[in-house]
Amino acid sequence: MGNIISSFLSSESIGSALSFVAGEAENIWGLQGNLDALQTEFDKLIQAKDDLLNEVNLAEQQPRTRRTYQVKGWLQRVQLMGTKVTTLQATRAQEIDRLCLGGFCSKDLISSYRFGRRVVELKKEVIDLKNERGDIVDIYEMVPEDPAVELPVERTVVGQESILDQVWRCITEKENNVGIIGLYGRGGVGKTTLLKQVNNHFRCRQHNFDVVIWVVVSRELKLQQIQHDIGERIGLLSDKEWQSKSVKQKALDISNNLSQKKFVLLLDDIWQPIDLTEVGVPLQSLNVESKIVFTTRSLDVCGQMRADKGIEVSTLTHGQAWKLFQEEVGTSVLGSHPDIPKLAETLAKECRGLPLALKTIGRAMASRRNREQWQHAINVLRTSASKFPGMEENVFSRLKFSYDCLPRDELRSCLLYCCLFPEDFRIPKRELINYWISEGFSDGFGDGYTIVGDLVSACLLEEEDDNYLKMHDVIRDMALWIACKIRKKEENFLVRAGVGITKAPKIEEWEGVKRVSLTDNKIESLSEIPNCPHLQTLFLDRNCIMEITDGFFELMRSLRVLSLSQNSLTELPSGISSLVSLQHLDVSYTDIRGLPHELKALLNLRYLNLERTYHLSRFPPELISSFSKLEVLRMLESGADSTAEQGSVLSEDAEPLMKELLCLKLLNLISFSLYSSRGVRNFLKFPKLLRITQALSISDCEIPLLNVSHLAYMEHLKDLFIDNSNLEELKTDCTGEVQKVLQCGFRSLHLASITFCSRVKDLTWLAFAPNLKIIVIMHCDDLEEIISVEKLNELSDIMGELNFFAKLELLDLYHAESLKSIYQGAVPLPQLKEIRVTQCPKLKTLPLNSSSTKQRYIVISGGKDWWEELQWEDQATQNAFSTCFVPSR
């Protein structure tokens, strides 16, 4: 035991212990010096950091460079070290105050020892961190290029978020097999904004594409500029020799580069198709690997660019438009007066959902806090939209690009012509084309429908259905601006359509005008004589005109189109003979009782509309046959109220008039009404008249039996009216004539109206009209069934399978007391919109099953009791149509 103790107390052990104690004691008595040394080393570290930052900042001024992760990490550690040193130095004074005996001892030995030890350790960490700076060789690196360059863009237009999501899914979902996507719509609807949003999605959303390329194409197609933009994006411009290469050489370089990448090419504002292979885009890479998205104002361009998917960017709904308008105006302005919100909503409606107009007008009103200012703005926009602040430069000038890019002057003139109609007017296609033909814009109906298609494709007109067009109000305002201001010398329109005026504009306003539209007003007389020798179009229809002074037309010798339809005129002024250039005359729906002899002067007349002139009875002899250039004559229901008058042209057999029509070699379309059995028999004797009849009305006739084969020649018959006749049956012979009927007769029939024919038992012949859209049956007391299965079976060997009612949209049944069946069984009705049943008590079934309308919603209107007693094929059918009933008023 003593030996052990003596070994511990050896001189060597005692020396080591004293040395350890002295070293640890230095943490106390050397504290102040160590704190100074720590600060000195830390200052050196900060100097090293500042030197490095200067180098890094200078390097990062170069494009596509960034500091290395090693630099980032060292700078972060220096920042952390600064926090530690600052925290420790903050307690320096407190720790120095604890020392005593000249700094060799402490009032709290343990605390001072620990603090001193921490100072020494931290000084070593600072020195080590400063030395690490020498190990940093690369202070910056080249940055990998982002797939897309972010573009400045407004927020997505309200209501178009779903389109953006749809486009994004088409791009990113591999299974959709869509390679080319076309966004089309009229100017100002937000296509470019959407495409920019698509571009920016590649900056913030997950995808697997290597590069996104943005190219603005614009009106004048320049392949070299497109190649330049693509080449710049994919790094080809770094080769100085590339700029001097030919289009073909550049295309090869672009193709080789993009073939190695998954790319997205965004092409904004295409006006004509682009040959992408000529640009160098490798189309074989599309679908799964790469994508192309473009915007255009033309639906045709979508087809010509072979887009796998075309997405229309349409105008906003009222709710969406109102929300966007509120955002642009601001809540403070909307709340500044209790009347302003309602006025603002009215103003928003005037924009008809066009985002460009909503933004322009909303921003213009964002400082208007007076209700009178808002009312004035509404008045200006309704009467002269071009005077509204910002409309010309921000809206019309941009929309005008679509007008300018129409390929022919005739197309531009046809578009401007549409602004002669009132706002929101449903423009009948055939009527419009007839105007165009008379004006010389179109060669015929085929060409006219092509023009309609071109304007619809350019998103400048809208198709409501097969028969009607509409012109968006802002497009109409733009067209008026062009016609009345930009092209005033060539066009010069005077338009007061649908504004409620009671007097015609002052005659000074007519001077130098080429087209005048006063349609849809409350004008009662035209007593002044305007001087307008260049006037070519005059719309006076849908007014209250009772009198026109004889000299009114004297100074209009260039007039080609005159519409007086839907007025209270009882006679035409003799001065109408001055219109020697007139080609189109419409006096339909007027009260005229005769046509003046002076009309014979209208040698160029090609279109004459006398429809629904119910009191018309007198024609001068050989008047109609004098119109040697006449192509279209409409006389449906002309003279309907005057057939009993002695000397009426349309009474009795009407044969003299028919013979005059046969003299007109260019006549190719008529609508006609027959008011006697002799007239029907005479009409059926003239195959030429049958062939050119588009609408036929037979009324007040004693014709119990009419052979369908007689109507086989009527290949252009579109509307057929049979009224107040004792017709019992339209006979169908089982001969070759039936085949002729099926092949030509009734193929064009769209409307069949059978009214007050009390003896007819069935209307099976309607099965011969596969394109029927509307059937109206009223007051047919003995009618038991519409399509007889028994009669169809009799003809089945000859006819084969008939797909009747395939195009039917409306079936209107009124007061058919004996009607039991429309058809025994269910038939497909894929286009059906509505069935109306009124006072048909024996009709207990409809020709429907659960799949008849292909799950389209239809309306079935009738009495509540009738609906409740209706019998269904099965429960599934009843369930399918249970929500379709609307009680009759």
Amino acid of residue 656: P
- How confident is residue 410, by pLDDT bands cut at 50, 70 and 90? very high
Q: Identify the CA nearest to 819 among candidates 862, 786, 863, 775.
A: 786
Cα gap 849→450, rounded to integer Å: 40
What is the reported pLDDT for 455? Answer: 92
Is pLDDT of 12 > 60?
no
Average pLDDT over residues 301-330: 91
Cα gap 715→730, rounded to integer Å: 17
Q: Hey, what are 777's tokens? A: 């049956």
Is pLDDT of 546 > 60?
yes
What is the reported pLDDT for 106? Answer: 58
Average pLDDT over residues 362-378: 89
Cα gap 283→263, rounded to integer Å: 11
Is pLDDT of 625 > 80?
yes
Are 678 and 652 in contact by the 8 Å Cβ rule? The answer is yes
Q: Identify the CA nearest to 553 among candidates 537, 534, 531.
A: 531
Average pLDDT over residues 163-189: 88
**Where is mean pLDDT largest: 497-501, 582-586, 729-733?**
582-586
Chain centroid, CA 565 distance in Å: 32
Is pLDDT of 618 > 90?
no
Chain centroid, CA 749 distance in Å: 31
Q: How does pLDDT run across 430-444, given as a tens digit for each residue?
A: 999 999 999 999 988
Burial zone of 528 (CB within 10 Å; 0-12 exposed, 13-18 middle, 19+ buried):
middle
- How confident is residue 651, by pLDDT bands cut at 50, 70 and 90? low
Chain centroid, CA 581 distance in Å: 39
**Single pTM value for the model:** 0.73
* Domains along the chain with CATH numbers: 16-142 (no CATH), 161-312 (3.40.50.300), 318-383 (1.10.8), 393-490 (1.10.10.10), 712-889 (3.80.10)
Average model confidence (pLDDT) across the chain:
86
Alpha-carbon dihedral sign for residues 673, 674, 680, 683: negative
What is the reported pLDDT for 3? Answer: 47
Is pLDDT of 836 > 70?
yes
Are 536 and 515 in contact by the 8 Å Cβ rule? The answer is yes
Cα gap 260→846, rounded to integer Å: 63
What is the reported pLDDT for 14? Answer: 37
Question: By three-state DSSP, how is residue 827 classified?
Answer: coil
Q: How does pLDDT run across 68-87, given as a tens digit for each residue?
A: 888 888 989 999 988 888 88
Is pLDDT of 532 > 90?
yes
What is the reported pLDDT for 97? Answer: 67
Are 662 and 689 in contact by the 8 Å Cβ rule? The answer is yes
What is the reported pLDDT for 15? Answer: 40
Are 427 and 563 in contact by the 8 Å Cβ rule? The answer is no
Q: How does pLDDT run across 446-498, given as a tens digit for each residue?
A: 899 999 999 998 889 988 888 899 998 899 999 999 999 888 888 899 999 99
Alpha-carbon dihedral sign for residues 146, 151, 156, 157: negative
